Chain A
Amino acid sequence: MTSDSGIPGSERPGEPTRGHTDAPARLGVTKTYKLYIGGAFPRSESGRVHPVHDSHGEFLANAARASRKDVRDAVAAARKAFGGWSSATAYNRGQVLFRVAEVMEGRRAQFVAEVAAAEGVSTGTAESTVNATIDRMVWYAGWTDKLAAVLGAANPVAGPYFSFSVPEPTGVVGILAPQQSSLLGLVSVVAPVLAAGNTCVVVSSTERPLPAITLAEVLATSDLPGGVANLLTGDAAELAPWLASHADVNALDPSGVPDSLRAEIERSSAGTVKRVLDVRPGEQDWTREPDIRRLREFTEIKTVWHPVGM
């Protein structure tokens, strides 16, 4: 680089120029992220944060470390949002979830960078993970208005009745998101819960929370009513027992719970009559094509008998 005048030393003092090794480098803005509860981004009630590192141990950002009271607030927000979301038409829910996929598409560069840093994979692999994630969101968005046809039925009964069975959302679902697959795994557990009409409280991967935080920013800007999805970052082993024993949580997906805690979590879930998704120990392969198992698990079948010809 040469200066316009061509005279050496004519650069103004303090102006950074390439090649000047003693000029101060630009200070990066290190972010301290917050939680996503009830459509807002509050700090943790506890005021705690924890540093997040990439796969090589480089500092990336600070993430909030949620406490049990944040769990309580998130459950209250999810309960408040349940009436509206569960009674929204299946068509509307599908549109909103499709909109989420659209906004994710717009943020794909950020997702790719965060997945690559968090999971220690190449940019190419991260790109295909993000593609699969967005496709999965679209796949579940398409299921909202087909679920009743597939899981429900007009039952043949031997009597003067119409008998219908229809799937209804279970309620507030606590989700402990997968620890390894920071984005694809997360969306694979959250999307079916939302598509079935439930509201949820999600605890993200403990070590890899950044893609989850970006997903929260996507959800906040894509027509999803506040409180339908609430996202907490922090220690899954610390928060899981509180979520499992909370009497106002109707179902639990323990995908991200450490195997050593599984039994305890299932016991305390039983104490408050919670539906617990049966997941195998270890982390499953999230790249495999999904089926409707998770949609079915987080719905309850309601059967109505209606007299005819009387």
Chain B
Amino acid sequence: MAHPPPASAPELPAELAEATRDGAALKRFLHGLPGVDQVGLEQRAAGLATRSIKKDSKLWAIDTAIGMVDLTTLEGADTAGKVRALAAKARRPDPDRPDTPRAAALCVYPDLAATAVEALAGSGVGVASVATAFPSGRSSLQAKLAEVELAVSAGATEVDMVIDRGAFLSGEYGRVFDEIRDVRESCGPAHLKVILETGELGTYDNVRRASWLALLAGADFVKTSTGKISPAATLPVTQLMLQAVRDWRDRTGQLRGVKPAGGIRSTKDAIRHLVAVHEVAGPEWLSPALFRFGASSLLGDLLMQRRTQLDGHYSGPDYVAVDQ
């Protein structure tokens, strides 16, 4: 905890500033957070998931969700060609229907960030790059910062970092905090999304603690998962994170975002998440600036459902671009 907070960071209320003083204070603060009522949380998530969104509201929700998609390709087999193809899809998701909103960002590995930046120049679609030894996060701080440097210098506007789950689970909150803070500084103007990998955190209490830890350390977004571990984004976990950013707004006045990633494949899932955003955080979070979906196959289903709404009959995968 040797670093002073960045000069640009706004003042935190006294009790939050106190929490970031040292490792012991941070631990006290995180363990002092109220415990999560697991049954209540899951019941509320299930209850919100039964809301029926139809007709005009459904079309609005589909368009909103398309505008929130971080189109993601994070495979060992990624090529520049695939990134360019996805960039074209992010610019114009449904070429037959130019009124379709564009995706929020394209999410790639850092070595392909330059390709993505070039392919998306002037389109308004952001370029997100994962960094810090994604997906495991097992490397030295030096290597992680070098990777962030690579992404930012290539022109990435958003950096998705992973936390060191090993350190978090063994209670070394200070180390995780310092790492996020260091990455935050290396990001410069780029937005920082902090991936908690909730599938490895074990309990809802840990998810709440990790969310607050990331927010205290300066994350612009908290993100559920890498997409490499199952379970990835579930409704209760997203809801917990939404509670955290809502409480953060109430205590500091700052708006921070949430990004569920992995496992959201259908329009139905996406709409359920939007309902949770509206009900748990609030309507101002229904914007790509504060809520994103990390997904690869979701966009195809959203486009099919959009066509179904507009054409009056069911659509099929032959009619939308398939990612290869």
Contact = CB atoms under 8 A, between A and B. Distances in A.
Interface of A: 71-72, 75, 79, 242, 245-249, 268, 271-272
B313 A248 contact: no
Interface stretch (B80-88, B111-119, B242-250, B316-324): B316-324
Contact of B315 (A79, A242, A248, A268): A248
Contacts of B318: 247-248
Nearest to A244: B313
B314 interface: yes
B316 A242 contact: no
A245 B307 CA distance: 13
Contacts of B315: 247-248
Looking at A71, A75, A248, A268, the one whose CB has the most chain B CB atoms below 10 A away is A248
A75 B314 contact: yes
Looking at A72, A246, A249, the one whose CB has the most chain B CB atoms below 10 A away is A246
Contact of B316 (A71, A247, A268, A271): A247
Which 3 A-B pairs rank lowest in CB-CB distance, beginning with the nearest? A248-B316, A245-B313, A247-B316
Contacts of A242: 313-314
Nearest to B314: A246
Contacts of A247: 307, 313-316, 318-319
Nearest to B319: A247
A234 to B, nearest CB: 17
A249 B319 CA distance: 12
Contacts of A246: 313-314, 316
Looking at A245, A249, A272, the one whose CB has the most chain B CB atoms below 10 A away is A272
Nearest to A246: B314
B312 to A, nearest CB: 8
Contacts of B317: 79, 248
Interface residues of B, number: 9
Interface of B: 307, 312-319
Contacts of B316: 79, 246-249, 272
Contacts of B307: 247
B12 to A, nearest CB: 49
Contacts of A72: 314
A242 B315 CA distance: 11
A30 B307 CA distance: 42
A245 B319 CA distance: 14
Contacts of A268: 313
Nearest to A172: B316
Nearest to A273: B318
Given A246-B314, A247-B315, A247-B316, 4 more contacts: A71-B314, A75-B314, A245-B314, A249-B316
A75 B315 CA distance: 11
10 contacts: A71-B314, A79-B316, A242-B313, A245-B313, A246-B314, A246-B316, A247-B316, A247-B319, A248-B318, A271-B313
A173 to B, nearest CB: 14
Nearest to B313: A245
A163 to B, nearest CB: 27
Contacts of B313: 242, 245-247, 268, 271-272
B55 to A, nearest CB: 15
Nearest to A71: B314
A245 B318 CA distance: 14
Contacts of A245: 312-314
Contacts of A71: 314
Contacts of B312: 245
Looking at B307, B314, B317, B319, the one whose CB has the most chain A CB atoms below 10 A away is B314
B66 to A, nearest CB: 19
A75 B318 CA distance: 14
B217 to A, nearest CB: 43
A242 to B, nearest CB: 7
A247 B315 CA distance: 5
A247 B307 CA distance: 10
A286 to B, nearest CB: 31
A71 B308 CA distance: 14
A82 to B, nearest CB: 11
A247 B316 CA distance: 5
Nearest to A249: B316
A246 B307 CA distance: 12
Looking at B312, B315, B316, B319, the one whose CB has the most chain A CB atoms below 10 A away is B316
A80 to B, nearest CB: 11
Nearest to B307: A247
A248 B314 CA distance: 8
A104 B97 CA distance: 50
A71 B316 CA distance: 13
A71 B315 CA distance: 13
Contacts of B314: 71-72, 75, 242, 245-248
B300 to A, nearest CB: 12
A232 to B, nearest CB: 15
A51 B316 CA distance: 34
A274 B314 CA distance: 14
A271 B318 CA distance: 14
A249 B318 CA distance: 10
Looking at B312, B313, B317, B318, the one whose CB has the most chain A CB atoms below 10 A away is B313
B230 to A, nearest CB: 19
Contacts of B319: 247
A299 to B, nearest CB: 18
A71 B307 CA distance: 17
Contacts of A272: 313, 316
A79 B315 CA distance: 13
Looking at A79, A245, A247, the one whose CB has the most chain B CB atoms below 10 A away is A247
B143 to A, nearest CB: 41
A305 to B, nearest CB: 25
